C-alpha cells in the first residue's frame, strides 16, 4: 500500500490574498474535470457536422486534450505512469473479458427495451446495427489518411484516454466522494460507497459494454488502492485498450476499434 501525498493547490498558495476567493481555473478540480468534459463534449458532436467528421473530431479532441493534460501536468502530480506485474495482468485480463463478453450482454438501451417489453410494454424493436468506426474504408481512396486516423485512434486510446479517465474517475471522483477536499485523501484509502459509485459510473458510461465496464472500473480501482498510486491503473488501462485495438486491426473486427 502506498503512502499519502499532500499537494498544495494553487488556490491555497501563499501568494493568494488572505480570504480571497480562488479563481475557477486555479481550483484543483479544473485540470481533473475540464479535459474529461471537453473530450466528451467534442465526442458528442462526432459525425454530426459532415460526413466523416467523426474521424476529424476524434483527432482534434485527442490532440487538444492531450496537449491540455501536458500543459497541466505539474498540477496533476498523480498522473505518472508506473509498471507492475499486477497492472500487466489486469490490463490483459480486462481486454480478454471485454472481447469475450461482446455480443453476449445486451447494451443498456437494448436491456431497457427488453425490460419494458417483459413488464407489459410494447415489443422491443430489433437491435440496430453497430456503427463501425473504420477510417480505412471511409478513406479508401486515401490510404495514408485512413491509416493516419487509425494511428491517432490507437495512440489516443492507449496514451490520452488512460491518463484522462484515470485522473477523472480514480483520482478525482473516487476521492471527492470520500471527502470534498479530495487532495488530502490518500489513493490507498478504501471507501465502499466511492468504490461502487465510481465503478458504476465508469461502467455505465460504456453503454454497449456496461458489464465489462463496471468490472473494468473495479479492477482499475483495486490497482489504485493496492499500490496507493494512479500509474498502475493508467498502465493497465493502456494495455487493455492497446490489446483491443490490436485485435480489431488484426482481425478486421473494426467494431472494437
CA-based end-to-end distance of the chain: 35
User: Digits of tens for pLDDT over the chain (257 positions)?
Assistant: 443 333 333 444 444 455 567 788 889 999 999 999 999 999 888 777 788 889 999 999 999 999 999 999 999 999 999 999 999 999 999 999 999 999 888 888 888 877 877 887 787 777 777 778 899 999 999 999 999 999 999 999 999 999 999 999 999 999 999 999 999 999 999 999 999 999 999 999 998 899 999 999 999 999 999 999 999 999 999 999 999 999 999 999 998 98
Three-state secondary-structure class, residue 158: helix
Q: How far are the Cα atoms of 7, 38, 39, 182, 194 from residue 64, in angstroms, in the given order?
A: 26, 9, 9, 26, 30
Q: How far are the Cα atoms of 120, 122, 123, 201 from residue 111, in angstroms, in the given order?
A: 15, 14, 12, 17
Nearest C-alpha neighbor of 40 from the set 66, 58, 67: 58
For position 5, what pLDDT does the model report?
36
Domain assignments of the chain as residue spans, ordered by start: 79-256
Nearest C-alpha neighbor of 125 from the set 102, 107, 101: 107
Three-state secondary-structure class, residue 233: helix
| Region of residue 235 (phi > 0: left; psi between -120 and 50: alpha; otherwise: beta) | alpha
**Chain centroid offset of residue 185 CA:** 21
Contacts of 204 (CB under 8 A, 6+ apart): 108, 210, 213, 214
Amino acid at each position: 500500500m502506498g503512502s499519502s501525498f499532500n499537494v498544495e493547490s494553487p488556490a491555497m498558495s501563499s501568494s493568494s490574498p488572505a480570504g480571497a476567493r480562488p479563481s475557477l481555473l486555479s481550483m484543483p478540480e479544473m485540470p481533473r474535470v475540464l479535459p474529461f468534459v471537453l473530450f466528451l463534449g467534442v465526442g458528442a458532436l462526432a459525425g454530426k457536422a459532415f460526413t466523416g467528421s467523426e474521424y476529424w473530431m476524434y483527432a482534434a479532441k485527442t490532440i487538444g486534450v492531450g496537449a491540455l493534460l501536458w500543459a497541466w501536468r505539474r498540477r496533476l502530480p498523480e498522473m505518472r505512469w508506473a509498471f507492475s506485474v499486477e497492472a500487466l495482468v489486469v490490463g490483459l485480463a480486462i481486454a480478454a473479458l471485454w472481447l469475450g463478453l461482446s455480443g453476449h450482454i445486451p447494451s443498456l438501451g437494448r436491456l431497457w427495451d427488453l425490460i419494458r417489453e417483459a413488464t407489459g410494454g410494447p415489443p422491443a424493436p430489433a437491435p440496430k446495427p453497430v456503427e463501425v468506426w473504420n477510417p480505412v474504408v471511409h478513406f479508401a481512396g486515401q490510404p495514408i489518411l485512413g491509416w493516419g486516423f487509425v494511428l491517432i485512434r490507437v495512440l489516443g486510446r492507449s496514451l490520452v484516454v488512460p491518463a484522462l479517465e484515470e485522473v477523472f474517475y480514480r483520482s478525482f471522483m473516487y476521492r471527492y466522494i470520500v471527502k470534498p477536499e479530495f487532495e488530502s485523501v490518500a489513493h490507498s484509502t478504501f471507501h465502499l460507497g466511492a468504490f461502487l459509485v465510481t465503478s458504476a459510473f465508469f461502467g455505465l458510461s460504456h453503454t454497449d459494454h456496461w458489464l465489462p465496464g463496471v468490472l473494468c472500473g473495479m479492477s482499475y480501482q483495486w490497482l489504485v488502492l493496492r499500490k496507493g498510486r494512479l500509474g498502475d491503473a493508467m498502465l493497465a488501462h493502456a494495455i487493455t485498450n492497446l490489446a483491443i485495438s490490436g485485435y480489431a486491426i488484426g482481425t478486421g473486427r473494426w467494431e472494437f476499434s
